[in-house]
Amino acid sequence: MKAAIGTMVGFIFLSLVVLQIIFQYFLGPEGWDLFPIYSGLILLSGLIVFCTKIVLEEIDGLIQKKAEEISKK
């Protein structure tokens, strides 16, 4: 879970700090139109990673619970 939260924080940092520097210095004023799109994609990908991690942990917990039930029988 810590890795997922770290990934999300990293994506937010990348979106809010690093992308602004890249757009400002390399693309100029005309590149600012693309900034919300790219930052939204980065935040969305972070959210997908976070949700996938949660789903995988839940599936793993269900598998372990099922294995314990089978071993008790």
Instruction: Show me where the domains of the chain are located.
Output: 2-72
Tokens for 33? Answer: 């139109």
> What does pLDDT average to in each consecutive run of 10 residues of the chain (73 residues)?
74 77 75 74 81 91 92 81
- Residues 53, 4: contact at Cβ < 8 Å? yes
Q: How many CB atoms lie within 10 A of CB 46?
A: 19
pLDDT at 64: 95
pTM of the model: 0.60
Closest residue by Cα to residue 42 from 2, 3, 4, 7: 7
